């Protein structure tokens, strides 16, 4: 592969594009029962685990590059869009909210592991929401149920602490960017 340059999507891909939109690196496409995870050291997307029967990702799921969340990984993001993409796609998006999550693994310490909710900026739908309050309640309930059900059998216990609006969610992104830059 002469002439190709590999990019580490966590360390080198900027969080924001030239228009100030966040970038989301899709790990797992919507509709998948398999959770994929980006393996930074290898620069690949790998099979992480199989979700419980009947549980699939409702929308594309991935991370915001150049961020570090409370669990030490990049900040998680879910892309609310009509069509799924595929692993490795980078979606320019607008932050519209966040699900506040506290997570504990096998009786260990409780850590924040929020999920940022975004919408693609290139969506031609003029009704694209600007804030989580614009999202139908059924969608938010589906996301909450998904995050609880998807962790069944993993040894992780989560507590959902409600939805943050766009302004608070943007603050979470800025804090996670600061933690990444400090780390």
The pLDDT of residue 1: 45
Report the pLDDT averaged over residues 143-160: 93
Report the pLDDT averaged over residues 51-66: 97
Report the pLDDT averaged over residues 92-98: 97
Query: Is the predicted pLDDT of residue 76 greater than 50, yes or no?
Result: yes
**12-42 residue pLDDT tens:** 999 999 999 999 999 999 999 999 999 998 8
Chain mean pLDDT for the chain = 93
* Secondary structure (H, E, C), the chain: CCCCCCCCCCCCCCCECCCCCEEEEEEECCCCCEEEEEECCCCEEEEEEECCCCCCCCCEEEEECCCCCCCCCCEEEEECCCCCCCCCCEEEEEEEEEEEEEEEECCCCCEECCEEEEEECCCCCCCCCCCHHHCCHHHHHHHHHHHHHHCCCCCEEEEEEEEECHHHHHHHHHHHHHHHHHC
Report the pLDDT averaged over residues 142-167: 94
Global pTM reads 0.93
Report the pLDDT averaged over residues 71-92: 95
Q: Which domains does the chain have, with CATH numbers?
A: 22-182 (3.90.80.10)
């Amino acid at each position: 592969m002469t002439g190709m340059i590999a990019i580490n999507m966590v360390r080198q891909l900027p969080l924001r594009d030239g228009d100030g939109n966040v970038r989301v690196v899709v790990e797992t496409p919507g509709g998948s029962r398999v959770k994929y995870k980006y393996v930074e050291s290898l620069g690949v997307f790998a099979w992480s685990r199989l979700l419980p029967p009947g549980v699939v990702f409702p929308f594309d799921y991935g991370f915001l590059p150049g961020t570090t969340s409370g669990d030490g990984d990049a900040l998680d993001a879910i892309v609310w869009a009509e069509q799924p993409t595929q692993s490795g796609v980078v979606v320019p998006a607008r932050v519209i909210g966040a699900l506040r999550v506290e997570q504990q693994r096998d009786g260990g310490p409780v850590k924040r592991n929020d999920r940022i909710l975004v919408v693609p900026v290139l969506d031609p739908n003029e009704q694209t929401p600007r804030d989580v309050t614009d999202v139908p309640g059924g969608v938010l309930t589906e996301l909450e149920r998904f995050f609880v059900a998807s962790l069944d059998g993993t040894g992780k216990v989560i507590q959902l602490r409600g939805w943050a609006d766009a302004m608070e969610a943007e603050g979470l992104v800025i804090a996670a960017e600061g933690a990444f830059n400090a780390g």
